[in-house]
Amino acid sequence: MNHPVGIGFIGAGEVSQLHAKAIQSIPEARLVGLWNLEPDRAAERAQLYQCRRYASAEELVQDPEIDAVFVLTNLETHLKFSTLAMENGKHVLVEKPVAATVADVAAIKSTAERCGVVCVPGHNMIHEDSLARARALIQAGDLGKIVSCYVMYNIHHSEERASTLPGMVRHILTHNIYTLMYLVGRPTRAAGMIAVRHYETLTREDLAMVLLDLECGGIAHLCASFAADDFSADPWTFMVKVIGTAGTTRYTYQDWVEAKPGISHSQVYSAYQQTITNEDRHFVQVCLHGGQPLSSMDDAVWAQKVVEAVELSLAENRIVPIA
């Protein structure tokens, strides 16, 4: 391409606000338009983002001004809309969780290969400079043998807000899983536990914890919680720590906080928007110039395998191999 990448949104919910802000800061990209299932939401967002509103997803993907599509709908529809976009020659960024099953994620990957287009999972958390430095240290062997990896998320969400999301294991733990994989490699076995601590009417979990064996020989501990904030001196709001025999590395959201309400949080964690912006910028560069995304559809397949292993562990009360 010798022009800015024209981007269309399929879905105009909450996360579209983060991507719209990101695209505004990327000179090589422009938001052409959007489609949303609810017309009122589509009209509101199109006016807010100053972009075109399409009558259908089909109309959007057939517009020659659109080079790439962001699939921002609920996960059960990701396969449908990703396939639609790719079969119309569009590059695709599909938000996490990428799809409902391993088979669906694999099908998206297969369609991208068949159509010869770029397709990347919305694994935004790894698009953070601090984590890139951590990964470089780990891969260079500067931390020695990996002993343990912790990816912790403790941010209170109201029951009303949580009711719009697919639960802690699929919605938040997916973040933890691909961040873990980016830093220390794939897990081989999973054991999970869940609890309900503050929900009064929702029956799904508001807390999930998982232990994982790693290919490298270490052990990982993941936590995903909407049940409570962590107000301690060193809060595990979103915290990543890797401990090795020769050193450690750490990253946290809490180092960048703005004292004003966020889209879904009680305060703004500045690093979160930056991960979205970095992710979108990287995607645009891959569309324009080629190269490899930080996270591939193979990673998305494996992350979904881990999710399903955790769900099986919960259902059968046992440690589950991941393969």
Statement: 126-276+304-321 belongs to CATH 2.60.120.10: no
Q: How confident is the model at residue 264 (pLDDT cuts 50, 70, 90)?
A: low
The domain segmentation of the chain, as residue ranges, is 5-122, 126-276+304-321
User: Among 158-162, 173-177, 187-191, 247-251, which is the least confidently predicted range?
Assistant: 158-162
106: part of which helix (H) or strand (E)?
A: helix 102-115
Of 74, 78, 70, 75, residue with least CA distance to 51: 70
The two domains 5-122 and 126-276+304-321 share their CATH topology (first three levels equal): no
Tens-digit pLDDT profile for residues 47-69: 999 999 999 999 999 999 999 99
> Residue 102, by phi and psi: left (phi above 0), alpha (psi -120 to 50) or beta?
alpha
Name the burial class of residue 253, with classes exposed (0-12), middle (13-18) and buried (19+) by CB atoms within 10 angstroms of its CB: buried
Statement: 5-122 belongs to CATH 3.40.50.1820: no
Q: Name the packing angle between helices 173-184 and 297-316 (round to 10°).
A: 120
Q: How confident is the model at residue 193 (pLDDT cuts 50, 70, 90)?
A: very high
Cβ count within 10 A of residue 274? 16
Strands (E), the chain: 5-10, 29-35, 52-53, 68-71, 91-95, 119-122, 146-154, 187-195, 207-214, 219-225, 238-244, 247-252, 257-258, 268-269, 320-321
Residues above pLDDT 70, as percent of the chain:
98
Predicted local distance difference test score (pLDDT) of residue 1:
66
Look at the alpha carbons of 79, 282, 125, 156 in this order and tell me if their dihedral is positive or negative. Answer: negative
Of 80, 91, 75, residue with least CA distance to 56: 80
pTM of the model: 0.94
HSE on the CB side for 286, CA within 13 Å? 20
